[in-house]
Structure 1
Amino acid sequence: MLYPWQQSLWQNWQLLLGQGRLHHAILLLAVRGSGREVLAQQLAQTVLCQNCDTEPCGVCHSCKLFAAKTHPDFHIIAPLQEGKQIGVDAVRQCNRWAVETSQLAGQRVIMIEHADALGEAAANALLKTLEEPPSGCQFILTAQSLDSLLPTINSRCNKWRLTTPDEQETQRWVERQMMQTVKLESVRLNGGAPLATKQFIEQGQDIRHGNLLEALSNFLLPPFTGIYDVAALCTGEGIVSLKWLSYFLVDCIKLQQGVSTHFVHNESLDKVQAVASQINPAVLLSQVRKANELHRKLEKHTGLNEELLIVEWLTGFIAD
């Protein structure tokens, strides 16, 4: 079942499917939490369907195998772990699938999830197959953006961007799904992505985010106590907490500069105002930069003493 914000793009694909003009390599660009895997799988199932050209019938042998995740002509490659690259061996396997004969005497579909995680060697191994695709083989690639995708892959695909709903639509959709009021700041912390926002609330991150802001606000007011409380909350949540604090500090900077709209922390402006009135603008700018640097460092290097590094960063607010 597709989500409402996916219908327009899906209708465009249906038109091309009906006309037999769908490009052999589709690149779907969509942010995390937009349900892009649902849309990509809908396309894959439709291409493989034995009864219909523009939507999966759901009853043919192919559709039943697809629903059971046992379709012999549908293959997926993806990073083995989040944040890791797709290796060249996985792409070589993908190239072998591309030239195999269909086991159901129909199309073959190869999906590459997180194609922006293809390393240079892996991307180069894929190029020839994308340039000279075997007959009856459909490629579907998904990525968050073009920023990390190698231009050589980008240039050989037909690109489609899934737009997320505006933040009010996302807020209303999540509220309907969860049957509760949802803060706009929860939507903004998740880039407006509906599924990411829903998961954020389901997992209680909205509550823990609020607790972290409370602890930080208390720490940044004289007599500047509670540094280890903030660090413990950050460590418990993981490195995403540094992103939350970075957004919060940017809101403080905006307020200091006279901005009156477009705050991420729309419902926590009292805390934004308290910190903005207390901390020097130059310190805030420096701490945002250092928070982002620390986030990248912890993302790249596992095994570091996260709590110690966060305490060190927090001391930057009160150092002479």
Structure 2
Amino acid sequence: MKIKGNVYLRKQLAQAFKNKALGHSLLFSGKEGIGKYLYAKEFASYLLCENVAEENIPLGGCGECRVCALLKTNSCPELVEVFCKEENTEKIKTTISELYKEKVAAKRRVVIFRDAEYLRVQGANSLLKSIEEPPKNTFFILTCANAELLLPTIRSRCQKWHFNPLQDEEVKEIIKENLNLLPSQFAVKLSAGSPALALLLLEEEELVKDIFNTLLKISQGDDQIIAPFLNQLLKIEEKEKVINFLLLCGSYFLEKSTDLNLVYKWAL
């Protein structure tokens, strides 16, 4: 998948490494679905590349050395990934403890903690100990949509890198290039810079448009449609999805109130 957005920040990461100003524990924060995990994987590839010391090495590594070849097949032992949202605490603790037992064959090792805010107390405490006393030649990259949910002690010990939502055109390009789909202006605008969210909106576009238009009418004083609207929502089986769409539309009203009439036209 071709990576887009936040080019300046991604280059700054590489520059920080070259200038020996990079911390061993990095916190990648930003809106959900904007590509923080992809940025983490890209930078991990850069750190692990055997030719990283050379000039003009791309952000994702040279693509030709032994390590880069292993990374392409997801078989590089120096890249460890922890999926905090899906893995149980014991597995996470075991993964962390193994870092101290295994010798690193390459110059560096990178451990990515995806969705780090989902770490439970015991897993978070294990991570904190590793950050305080990291294994030799090991970098930690934590990605999260809400840094406030992390332990304050973890946040304070990480070098913070905040990634911005993507531009509308970048969202369109990502979806078009990787999925051969042309997203509607409505989905792109409502996603507010999140390609992942734009895809979700495309899957349920008619439902979201209906919710958006109804909420807009209610906000303009049409309270006669509230009861029928609620009855309609109650009939939908996937309640969690409906709640998420309601929250999404509501938050968009708050953030983009000046654009509502324009978005309304796209939703028609």
TM-score of the superposition, structure 1-length normalised?
A: 0.66
Alignment of 1:111 with 2:112, yes or no, is: yes
How far does residue 126 in structure 1 lie from its aligned partner after superposition? 1.9
CA distance in 2, matches of 1:206, 1:13: 37
- 1:100 is aligned, of 94, 97, 102, to 102
The within-5 A match list for 1:257-276 is 261-263=258-260, 266-267=263-264
CA distance in 2, matches of 1:250, 1:35: 21
CA distance in 1, matches of 2:248, 2:262: 8
| 2:220 aligned partner | none
In terms of Rg, which structure is larger? 1
CA distance in 2, matches of 1:44, 1:75: 10
CA distance in 1, matches of 2:46, 2:245: 40
Q: Match of 2:245, as an amino acid?
A: W
The Cα offsets for residues 260-314 of structure 1, whole Å up to 9 and x where unpaired, read as: 724398316999xxxxxxxxxxxxxxxxxxxxxxxxxxxxxxxxxxxxxxxxxxx
Number of residue pairs aligned between Structure 1 and Structure 2: 256
| 1:318 aligned partner | none
Q: Match of 1:100, as an amino acid?
A: E
Contact 1:175 1:182 in 2 (8 A): no
Identity, % of aligned pairs?
22
| 1:35 aligned partner | 35
The within-5 A match list for 1:1-320 is 3-53=3-53, 55=58, 56-79=61-84, 81=86, 87-102=89-104, 104-165=105-166, 168-169=168-169, 173=173, 180=182, 182-184=184-186, 186-201=187-202, 203=203, 205-212=204-211, 221=224, 229-232=232-235, 234-236=236-238, 238-246=239-247, 261-263=258-260, 266-267=263-264
The Cα offsets for residues 209-262 of structure 1, whole Å up to 9 and x where unpaired, read as: 234567898xx7479658654323x324x412123335657889x8xxxx9724
CA distance in 2, matches of 1:157, 1:242: 33
Moved over 3 A (4+): 1-4, 168-181, 211-217, 220-230, 245-252, 262-265, 268-271
CA distance in 2, matches of 1:250, 1:32: 14
The verdict on how the C-alpha distance between 1:119 and 1:139 changes in structure 2, with shifts beyond 3 A counting, is same
Contact 2:93 2:126 in 1 (8 A): yes
Contact 1:109 1:137 in 2 (8 A): yes
Contact 2:190 2:252 in 1 (8 A): no
How far does residue 153 in structure 1 lie from its aligned partner after superposition? 0.7
Q: Secondary structure at the match of 1:261?
A: helix
The verdict on how the C-alpha distance between 1:214 and 1:78 changes in structure 2, with shifts beyond 3 A counting, is same
Contact 1:87 1:122 in 2 (8 A): yes
Unaligned 5+ segments in structure 1 are 272-320
Q: Secondary structure at the match of 2:64?
A: coil
Contact 2:113 2:141 in 1 (8 A): yes
Unaligned 5+ segments in structure 2 are 218-222
CA distance in 2, matches of 1:270, 1:60: 49
Q: Secondary structure at the match of 2:136?
A: coil
The verdict on how the C-alpha distance between 1:175 and 1:209 changes in structure 2, with shifts beyond 3 A counting, is same
